[in-house]
Amino acid sequence: MVFNKMNRVIRYPGLLLFLLILTFQAKSQTQQQPPDTSRRDAIRLFMDCQGCDMNYIREEMPYVNYVRDVREAQVYLLITRQSTGSGGTAYTLLYSGQDELSGMKDTLIYNTSPDDTYDVTRSGLTNTIALGLMRYVAKTPIRNAIQVRYTGERLESPEQVEDKWNYWVFEIQTRPRFSIEKSVESYSLSNSLSADRVTPEWKIGLGANHSYSKNVYIRERKDSLGNPYESRTEAIRSSWSANNETVKSLSNHWSVGFRAGLSSSTYNNIRFKGYFMPAIEYNIFPYSESTRRQLRAFYSIGYIYNNYTDTTIYNKTYERLFEQSLSISFRVQQSWGSANASVSASNYLHDFQKNNVRVSANLSLRIFKGLSLSINGGMAFIHDQIELAKGNVSDQQLYLRTRALETGFQYDGSLGITYTFGSIYSNIVNPRF
């Protein structure tokens, strides 16, 4: 009987290998207990940061217990980011003590330059995180193992810095791409040029963009005599735009400015478009708190000139229009999660029935220990497609999406549920495989 069982195992070498692996793992686990992943007397930290290199942070800061649930933490750290006028990134670090450290709060800022490498950015951010944690670490016995020292040069007297560029930042980019297969060839080229100047009083952005894409679809066919030949179908889309946005800060809640630009798009049947839109914005919360919360109302009204490539469905080859738009957006990011919602509406003043209304929302919620929920959704009611080309849409235009299509609505949505359980600690780093 035993011989028959062994015979079956030998016939299936994969089964034999699987059994050997299980035996080896069981033996190794009984001989060696896994180490305790918690660090005695260390503070428990929950980091709320999208895009942070957590493996690097864990390795550089081994004096912290990194927990997976915010309710287990003694310190909650929220890291948000915004683009700066120089093209870099401003990270805002918001520390909040919990339990016995309740009431201890702090805020630090870490700025990067546009030419900083990924390693420089993560190193500087990690160092800033560590500096902010020192006041909390000082409350634990681990403070005896921490040393703080200054590694820079001694400053005799501060020097005034002069900016020869007067806060202007320029960027030029080009990106050619291609992909070739037996049946499909894809070529694309995108170019951009920008000039930005950002100060506390003014925000000026100038930009120009160009894009061109060409897809070739190749099929092997035979003619009526049975001779083989190649059938090639091309789909081409191109566009360019030049725009300007100028904003003046009036107070910690009010801003005024305008948007203006020129553009062209084969997809949208626009040979040439020009617009000028003065605007005003009010933020109920101070702009200084925009990384954590904001509730904005934005209104604009202005002039648009459209020159169409083909005659539109309203028998127009060009139009002079006046348009107004209003949008209200809300955003908050806290320890329980984040929420974003916006409502926008626009219409042409000569015909209020030609309008566009859009609603979108996003909610990321930590319901209870280990369980999180994310919901995304949006809808749009579209009645302002005045630029649509007249005539029937060909199968090629439909399938290759080289032309905008008529629609009266658009819906989208997603739902995500995540449940995590087990050890509350996540200190160990293992980058193998």
Q: Which residues contact 166 (CB under 8 A, 6 or more apart)?
A: 197
Rg (CA), the chain: 30
The token pair that represents 115 in the structure block: 């030419």
The 3-class secondary structure across the chain, one letter per residue, is CHHHHHHHHHHCHHHHHHHHHHHHHHHHHHHCCCCCCCCCCCEEEEEECCCCCHHHHHHHCCCEEEECCHHHCCEEEEEEEEECCCCCEEEEEEEEECHHHCCCEEEEEEECCCCCCHHHHHHHHHHHHHHHHHHHHCCCHHHHHCCCCCCCCCCCCCCCCCCCCCCEEEEEEEEEEEEECCCEEEEEEEEEEEEEEECCCEEEEEEEEEEEEEEEEEEEEECCCCCEEEEEEEEEEEEEEEEEEEEEECCCCEEEEEEEEEEEECCCCEEEEEEEEEEEEEECCCHHHCCCEEEEEEEEEEEEEEEECCCECCCCCEEEEEEEEEEEEEEEEECCEEEEEEEEEEEECCEEEEEEEEEEEEEEEEEECCEEEEEEEEEEEECCCCCCECCCCCHHHHHHCCCCCCCCEEEEEEEEEEECCCCCECCCCCCCC
Higher pLDDT, 102 or 276: 276
Residue 4 banded pLDDT, cuts 50, 70, 90: low
Place of tokens 């990011």: 333
> What does pLDDT average to over the chain?
85
| Adjacent-strand bridge partners of 114 | none
Q: Two tokens at 330?
A: 């809300």
CA distance 111 to 121: 9
Task: Kindly give the interhelix angle for 13-31 and 2-11, rounded to the nearest 10 degrees.
Answer: 100
As a whole number, mean pLDDT of residues 395-401 equals 78
pLDDT attached to residue 200 = 86
Cα separation, 77 vs 94, whole angstroms:
6
CA proximity to 369, closest of 39, 75, 46, 133: 46
Residue ranges and CATH numbers for the domains of the chain are 43-143 (3.30.160), 168-419 (2.40.160)
Torsion sign over Cα 148, 153, 154, 156? negative
In degrees, rounded to 5, the angle at the alpha carbon of residue 378 between the alpha carbons of residues 415 and 241 is 125
Please tell me the distance from the alpha carbon of residue 97 to that of residue 74, in angstroms, as a whole number.
6
Q: Tell me which residue has tokens 């951010």.
A: 125
pLDDT band of residue 30 (cuts 50, 70, 90) is very low
Most confidently predicted of 62-76, 256-270, 323-337: 256-270
Task: Answer with the residue of higher pLDDT: 99 or 31.
Answer: 99
What pLDDT, on a 0 to 100 scale, did the predictor assign at position 424?
A: 64
Model pLDDT, residue 346: 97
The per-residue pLDDT for 266 is 95
pLDDT of 31 higher than 50: no
Name the percent of the chain lying above pLDDT 70: 86
pLDDT band at 3; cut points 50, 70, 90: very low
Q: What is the pLDDT of residues 169-209, one digit of tens each?
A: 899 999 999 999 999 999 999 999 999 998 889 999 999 99
pLDDT band at 410 (very low <50, low <70, confident <90, very high): very high
Indicate the range of 19-28, 141-150, 413-422 predicted with least confidence.
Answer: 19-28
Look at residues 257, 252, 333, 256 and name the one whose alpha carbon lies nearest to residue 285.
252
Pair 263, 270: CB distance under 8 Å: yes
Task: Give the tens place of pLDDT for each residue, 114-160.
Answer: 778 888 888 899 999 999 998 888 888 888 877 777 776 665 555 55
Q: What is the mean pLDDT of residues 55-69?
A: 85
Question: What pLDDT is attached to residue 428?
Answer: 62
**Main-chain phi, psi angles of 290, to 5 degrees:** -65, -25
- Greater pLDDT, 343 or 152: 343
pTM above 0.75, yes or no: no
How far is CA 141 from its chain centroid? 40
Asked if 251 and 217 touch (Cβ cutoff 8 Å), the reply is no
Q: Is the pLDDT of residue 2 over 50?
A: no
Residue 265's pLDDT is: 96
pLDDT band at residue 337 using 50, 70 and 90 as cut-offs: confident
- Sequence-separated (6 or more) residues with CB below 8 Å from residue 27: none
Mean pLDDT score, 318-333: 95
Residue, of 242 and 113, whose pLDDT is higher: 242
Confidence band for 36, pLDDT divided at 50, 70 and 90? very low
Average pLDDT over residues 326-353: 92
What is the C-alpha separation between 364 and 414, in angstroms, rounded? 12
pLDDT of residue 154: 60
Cα separation, 105 vs 96, whole angstroms:
5
pLDDT at 13 over 60: no
- In this prediction, residue 366 has a pLDDT band, given cuts at 50, 70 and 90, of confident
